[in-house]
Structure formats: C-alpha cells, structure tokens
Chain A
Amino acid sequence: MNPEMLTKWLIRWGGTAAMIAVLTAGAGDGVAQESVAVRAALVTGTLPLDDPNAAAWNNAAPAVFPMSPQVHWPERIQQVTVQDLTVRALHDGTQIAVLLEYADPTEDPDDAAAIEFMVGDKKAHFAHGQPMLLVEGGPVNIWYWKSKDNKGVDLWAKGFGTLRPHEHQDVKAKGEYANGKWRVVFSRSLATDHPDEDAQITPGQFINIAFAVWDGRKDDAGQVIEKGSQKAVSSWWYFRAEPPPDYSGYVYAGVAAVLALGFQFVLIRKLKEGQSA
C-alpha cells in the first residue's frame, strides 16, 4: 500500500468509525453516565483532612451520585432538596479524606450529611443494615456530620432503632458553606483497632459506600422538614483507596517474553542440529 492509498484508506475508515461513534453516543437518552465508584487517589503530600476548600481537592477525580427521598421505611419523605452528590477522596496510605459537595439553597444549623460503609465480610442492607429475611447481613458504620456541631460522629447500626455512637470516636468532619453549596470533608485512618465496629479500608480493595443528606430548613410551623429517616439517600456504590502503582504485570510480561525467546532459540538450535546430523 503506497502512502497515498494509505491516507485515503485512513480517511474513509476513520471517518466511518467517527460517524458510528457519534451516532451511538447520540443513541442514549442524553443522561450522562453516572458514577459507580469513588476512587481515593494516593497522594504523597499533606492530606486536606479538615479543609474542604484545599487546592488538593482539585486533583481528586469527582464521582457524582443521584439521591432519592428515603422511602424504604417510615417515616418516609416524598421530596428532598439535594438531588445529586459529588464525592472526591484522597489518601496517603495511612489517613483517608472524603469530600462531599452538594447544592443547598440555605445554610441551616440542622443541615447534615453522612457516609455509610458495610462492616466486616457480610453484606449489609443500605438502610442502616436492617435485617434481611433470607440472607444473614452485617452491621454498618456511619460517619455523620451536622452543621451546628461541625464535627464528625462515628456511628454503628444493625437494623432500625439500633443506631448508636461508638465509644471510640475515630472520625473527624468539617463543613463549609459558600455560594449555595456545602463542602464537607470527613477523615479517618484507613484502618482502626475495632474491625467489628469500623469499616476497614485496604488500598486496592473495593468496598461498598452509601450517602445521606438532610436539608435542615424549617417549614412555616418552625419544624425541620428533613430529619431522622426523612432524608435524601443514595444506593450502595463502590469505594476504593487506590493502591500504590503496581509494575509487577510488566515484570511478569518481560520474564515471559524472555522465556519465549529462549524457547525459540533452543528449538531452532535443536532443529539445526537435527538437520546437520
């Protein structure tokens, strides 16, 4: 194929491929691909453990999760303020920091947000780890923040009515409100001394994560509308603290290629010996 023919071929087939890509992209219903996982990048510098507006967050990949009114158990709620939650995370191999960001038109003392993890190996129902009928479930670990306290609370639950704070409080949280948005950073060490009560985060391992948000605004009678089980919730998604770069795949590939080369060398030498014999 001469260069001119090659150019024509590339234009023809490249153009067709581009058209197909555009057509298939347009075939969707226009909804952006939703996130399935929060990936906490491994950083070498200082983690923004208590700074929701640190520049370091600009380097963390955002994951966006849709939120729903909590309808699984009473008291339900039909409408909630927060529709989407943007989540970023960073870790340094020892500590993890998770930033939640969401639009909320008003800053209220009862504004609150929470992160939920499963504890242990058993699957836990996303609604406070409530018991399942045919599957033995495990507990959940909830990291909770409320605007008026502006601190983290480390909680445990295994079913409705079992929510309680841990005796050991390992979670820190700090929120800052600006321009109609909350930015709340939660932080903790990746591993704790209480694996029966705390989620343990091992770099490289995917674990489940879910979120809840309460808009603390009040109705005309002065009652907080979103409170307790009346909140915005997400389903279970995935969370992973990224592991250090792993180059072992390249090493194995190199060793395998050298072995294959050696095999060829030995084979051809044997064949040549056979021919000359």
Chain B
Amino acid sequence: MGRALIRPIVIMGAMYAFLKFVLPNIPGSAEIPASLIILYLLLTLSGIIIFETLSAESKDAFWGPMQRFLTGENIGGLQPLRYGILVLFPVLVGWQTYNATAPSDSPPAENRVIHPAPPGEYTGLANPVPKTPENIMQGKGFYAAFCSPCHGANFDGKGPAARGYNPPPANFADPTTIAMLQESYLFWRIKKGGVGLPIEGMPWKSAMPRWELELPDEWIWKIIMGEYDGAHQTPRTWE
C-alpha cells in the first residue's frame, strides 16, 4: 500500500485518539459524545480527500492503491482480505438496516425529572415557624403520623407502604434529595403533592398526597423542620 494511503490512515487514527483520549483530559473540557467524534472525523476525512486530490499526481497516488485493491489486480497476498471485505460490506449494510427497521420490543423509555422547577410563588419562601426544639419535635410527630408510612421512620424512603410505588418515595437521608433543596421547595412538594408536579415530573405516577387539602401550612413547615433534623441534613441556601 502506498505512502499516500498510510498518511491519511495515521492522521485519522491520531485525530480519533486526540478526540477520545486527549481532549477530555484538558482542564475545563469534558467527554465528547460519539456523534460529535464521528462528525469531526468526517470533516477530517473530507479535508484529507480535498488535499490528496488537489493535483493529478497526488490523486493517482491516493486513489490508485484503493482501486487496485478493489479490482484485485496485482495485490498478491491481500486477495483473501479483499474477498473478506467484499463479503463483509453487504453483511454490515444488512445488519445496520435490520437494526434500524426492526420493531422495538421494549416499553417506552421514561425520562422522569425527579426535582422539576417549582412554580415562581414557591421559590425563596422562608420557613415562618421558629426553629425551636419544641417545633422540631412537633414536626417529627407529624412526620411520623403522615409521612413515615412511605418515607420511613428512618427518613430513608423505606416505609412499610413504600414497596409498591414507582417512583419510590424520596430517601431524605440521601444527600441528593432534600439536602440539595430549599425549604420552600419542600413546602411546594408537600402542599401540592404528586398531582401538583409539572408534566416532566410525570404527576400521573406519583402517590404523594396533596397535603394542602388535609394539613395547615404551619404543620407543613414544622414537618419540613422535622425532616431535615431527623435525616441529619440542612436545607440548601443561596448565600
């Protein structure tokens, strides 16, 4: 195979290695999606083809070996490889076509947003109930009565009523739940419940009651205090 062919192969390989292994490790960068890598490689290939076909000599040097390989003239020991590629190409095209056209057997994918954005009126509300030991204790009492059947006596989302619910009740001990949220967010979620979620939260699946129909606001604020204290978490604040 001529040098004119080795150079593009080396350039394509180096470009792939750069995009896949070097670029993501540059500070401030990130992993590049496969689709973007393919796009960059196609651009590189286009550049190589334009460059290699600028003159008649370079064009012959570039396409010549490929033509000889495909027609099988004077390629000696590469003949089995040629037959292999000629068989493999239609098989790959058939396989890709099958994958693209075969009907899916899987249930629809569900991309549920666990913490969707709250309505504007529920952002930045401060808890109006003083954080006294009595109020926290009272909040824990309300929590035990109303919330613990699902969210668990240990605030871990593993209450006795939790097992059948999908999505599962939130685990407050997990640092990615209430520790990432403001008290006003919890106030919204407790007050409006599952049916108050926006569409990206898939409200039709949530078993969370709409507690505003049953509990006064003051109890809800106390429950929030009890939850944070019991789960050993602190609310997120905007300093």
Contacts and interface: CB of A to CB of B under 8 A. Distances in A.
Given A66-B164, A78-B160, A243 B94 contact: no
B91 interface: yes
Interface stretch (A52-60, A91-99, A168-176, A259-267): A259-267
Nearest to B94: A257
A137 interface: yes
B29 interface: no
Nearest to A256: B97
Nearest to A123: B204
A132 B149 contact: no
A240 B210 CA distance: 31
Interface stretch (B43-51, B101-109, B121-129, B135-143): B101-109
Nearest to A254: B94
A133 B196 CA distance: 5
Interface string B149-164: 1100000000011111
B102 A264 contact: no
B165 A68 contact: yes
Interface stretch (B32-40, B67-75, B174-182, B220-228): B67-75
Given A71-B149, A275-B73, A236 B89 contact: no
Contacts of A67: 163-164
Nearest to A85: B164
A74 interface: yes
B164 A236 contact: no
Interface stretch (A3-11, A145-153, A184-192, A227-235): A227-235
A206 B107 contact: yes
A193 interface: no
Contacts of A74: 214
A135 interface: yes
B238 interface: no
B132 to A, nearest CB: 30
A235 B169 CA distance: 12
A131 B164 contact: no
Most chain A beta carbons < 10 A, residue from B162, B194, B198: B194
Contacts of B203: 125, 132-135
Contact of B205 (A37, A126, A260): A126
A253 B16 CA distance: 30
A127 B107 CA distance: 22
Interface stretch (A41-49, A106-114, A214-222, A244-252): A244-252
Q: Which 6 A-B pairs have the closest CB atoms?
A: A68-B164, A257-B94, A249-B102, A256-B97, A253-B98, A260-B93
Interface of A: 36-37, 65-69, 71-74, 76, 78-79, 83, 123-127, 130-135, 137, 204, 206, 232-238, 240, 243, 246, 248-250, 252-261, 264, 267-268, 271-272, 274-275
20 contacts: A68-B162, A123-B204, A124-B204, A126-B205, A130-B195, A133-B192, A133-B195, A135-B197, A234-B164, A235-B205, A236-B205, A238-B107, A253-B97, A253-B98, A256-B94, A256-B96, A256-B97, A260-B89, A274-B67, A275-B73
Interface of B: 67, 70-71, 73, 86, 89-91, 93-98, 101-103, 107-108, 149-150, 160-167, 192, 194-199, 202-205, 207-210, 214
Given A135-B199, A246-B103, 14 more contacts: A68-B207, A72-B194, A125-B203, A132-B203, A134-B198, A135-B203, A249-B101, A252-B97, A256-B94, A259-B93, A260-B94, A271-B71, A272-B71, A275-B67
